[in-house]
């Protein structure tokens, strides 16, 4: 302690504080890595216990979660025009990527349906902005998808009505039989 007192106490305190903060930073990184490692180990254990089926279902769960999150971000940001457009295009891009993935073929019709709805949402937003060319392009893409999904009626009116009802559901508006008509 005599050695420490020889220097100003502020210097010792600052050095100790820097070491403490740096230690905490390194520790938090290490703690996060350890948690990640534990999680991976647990997943591997589960996969060994339940077989490859478990890994497949794990992947499906993650993909469905991604589908829902992409839609959620697009819906909640709708009140802000710029942000809404950004997240809507993000949803379309994310779903198009997911659609192309070979490990997501099991849920491809699900992705197609959500992508179709996102195209309709985009078309409605673009029509609102008088961007008719883009709106028509997105609506055509939506129609192609819903046709491939076997929809009996994939007219613009029906698709708009379904998309609007879907948005109302998120906004918490009551759904009556007259909605969207």
Partner 1 sequence: MTKAAKITYFAALLVGLSIGGFFGFQTAASAFEAFYTGRLLTAPMVLSHFSYLQYSYADRAHAQAALRTSAKLLEGMEKLNPEKTQERELSFTYTRLALLEDAADNSEESHALMTKARYWFTASGGRDYSESEMKTVLKSVDEHLQP
Query: Which residues would be at the binding site for partner 1 (CB under 8 A)?
Result: 1-4, 12, 15-17, 19-32, 34-36, 38-39, 46, 50, 53-54, 56-57, 60-62, 64-65, 67-69, 106-107, 109-110, 113-114, 146, 149-153, 158, 161-162, 165, 175, 177, 179-181
Taking the complex as a whole, the smallest distance from the CB of residue 127 to partner 1 amounts, in Å, to 20
Q: How far apart are CA 29 and CA 22, in angstroms?
A: 11
Contacts with 169 (C-beta within 8 Å, 6 or more apart), sequence order: 175
- The smaller minimum CB distance to partner 1, of residues 144 and 158, is found at 158
Taking the complex as a whole, the smallest distance from the CB of residue 45 to partner 1 amounts, in Å, to 13
Contact between 162 and 149 (Cβ < 8 Å): no
Query: How many CA within 13 A on the CB side of residue 137?
Result: 5
- The smaller minimum CB distance to partner 1, of residues 55 and 131, is found at 55
Contacts with 136 (C-beta within 8 Å, 6 or more apart), sequence order: 123
- The smaller minimum CB distance to partner 1, of residues 37 and 132, is found at 37
Q: How far apart are CA 68 and CA 142, in angstroms?
A: 18
Taking the complex as a whole, the smallest distance from the CB of residue 4 to partner 1 amounts, in Å, to 5
Determine the Cα angle at 162 with ends 156 and 166, to 5°. 140
- The smaller minimum CB distance to partner 1, of residues 81 and 105, is found at 105
Distance (Å) of CA 84 to CA 75, 80, 89:
7, 6, 9
Taking the complex as a whole, the smallest distance from the CB of residue 41 to partner 1 amounts, in Å, to 12
- The smaller minimum CB distance to partner 1, of residues 87 and 146, is found at 146
């Amino acid at each position: 302690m005599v050695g420490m007192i020889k220097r100003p106490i502020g210097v010792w305190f600052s050095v100790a504080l820097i070491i403490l903060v740096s230690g905490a930073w390194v520790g938090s990184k290490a703690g996060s890595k350890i948690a990640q490692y534990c999680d991976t180990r647990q997943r591997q254990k589960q996969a060994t216990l339940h077989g490859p089926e478990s890994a497949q279902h794990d992947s499906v769960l993650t993909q469905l979660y991604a589908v829902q999150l992409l839609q959620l971000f697009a819906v909640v940001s709708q009140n802000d025009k710029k942000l809404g457009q950004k997240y809507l295009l993000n949803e379309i891009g994310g779903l198009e990527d997911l659609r192309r993935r070979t490990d997501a073929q099991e849920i491809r019709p699900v992705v197609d349906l959500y992508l179709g709805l996102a195209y309709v949402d985009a078309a409605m937003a673009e029509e609102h902005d008088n961007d008719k060319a883009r709106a028509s392009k997105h609506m055509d893409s939506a129609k192609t998808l819903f046709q491939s999904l076997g929809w009996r009626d994939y007219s613009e009116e029906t698709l708009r009505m379904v998309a609007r009802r879907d948005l109302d559901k998120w906004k918490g508006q009551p759904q009556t039989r007259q909605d969207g008509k």
